[in-house]
A and B are shown apart, each in its own frame.
Chain A
Amino acid sequence: MTGPLERVLRVLLADTAAPHYGYDLMRSARVPSGTLYPMLARLQQQGLVESEWEPRHDDAGGRPPRKYYRLTGEGIRITRLELARARPPVRSARAGRVQPAPGSAR
């Protein structure tokens, strides 16, 4: 599992009932939009994530409805398993990083 995917799944799993909009996912998982949307499309194809359009609110000020993403039941199960296998997140991410740029190490 790659770093961005893991971060996105963690954010989705942190609150499985809440609607996660694309931009919010980008910010909280620190993933650029160029990576996030293909990833979400793939997860949707695999049936792990579902998407829905938000209902139109009167207080939205004429803003068009946004689309949000949620883990499916199957997605929650598989994500828990995968994240448990990938733990501990911080340390493995550090260890997996490539060596520092020349000159930066003392």
Chain B
Amino acid sequence: MSGAPLVRQLAEWRIRRACRRLPEDMREECYREWMAEIPAILGDPGGGRGFVRAVRALSYSAGISRATRRLRRVGGGAGGQARPAPAVPWRDGVPAAPPRGPAFRATVGVGIWLALVLVVVAVIRGLQPHSLWQILPGLLAAAGFVAFCLTDLAFAAQVRYLPKWGWALACTLSIPLGGIMYFSVGRCRRARSARPDHLPHRS
């Protein structure tokens, strides 16, 4: 049972996230009920060995995640899709970001191109026998671009096709490409995000 604290934290984190989906009036009670089950599962003497209990607790919390999706529909009252949950449920009260104008987009474009040019220059210079000073601009550009992408991602109210952490991973792992993909397809523009056929990725 050495992994129990970590397992417990993981399961509780999952439940906490799942409960954010629920409507206000159910959230508190469901949260208390499910949180109380986790120590009960992990401490269940008839639940098998420590490892088995850990798996049970994790699959329990994964099931809770599914349950909240259904409960939202059951508890929401009139009509299944009538009230879509906010993409960032724990920021319910925060008003939507102000619309971003062409100036912002131009800045983004210039930023991407500058970063690309710098990266290309850095790669060409890096092919020659290099010292730290020669690759430094490239490194700086790459770091700047990643930071730019991650900041934009962090402030975005919703993203498409991948969850936010997926985009963060892509931006960090494949340096210019992930970020370019994010800005070209993953970012919700305000006009599109209102359209029902571009449903934002939940969770």
Contact = CB atoms under 8 A, between A and B. Distances in A.
Contact of A64 (B39, B62, B63, B66): B39
Contacts of B70: 34, 38
A46 to B, nearest CB: 11
Interface stretch (A18-26, A71-79, A80-88, A90-98): A18-26
Contacts of A41: 71, 74-75
Contacts of B64: 33-34, 37
Residue of B33, B35, B74 most packed against chain A (CB within 10 A): B33
B169 interface: no
Nearest to B60: A33
A32 B74 contact: no
Given A33-B60, A34-B64, A34-B67, A67 B74 contact: no
A22 B75 contact: no
Given A38-B70, A38-B74, A41-B74, A32 B40 contact: no
Nearest to A34: B66
Nearest to B66: A34
A42 interface: yes
Contacts of A3: none
A30 interface: no
B28 interface: no
A26 to B, nearest CB: 7
Given A38-B71, A41-B71, A66 B66 contact: no
Interface of B: 29-30, 32-37, 39-41, 43-44, 59-60, 62-67, 70-71, 74-75
19 contacts: A23-B40, A26-B60, A33-B59, A34-B62, A34-B64, A34-B65, A34-B70, A37-B71, A38-B67, A41-B71, A42-B74, A63-B39, A63-B40, A63-B43, A64-B39, A65-B36, A66-B36, A66-B40, A67-B33
Given A38-B67, A64-B35, 8 more contacts: A26-B60, A33-B67, A41-B74, A41-B75, A42-B74, A63-B36, A63-B43, A67-B33
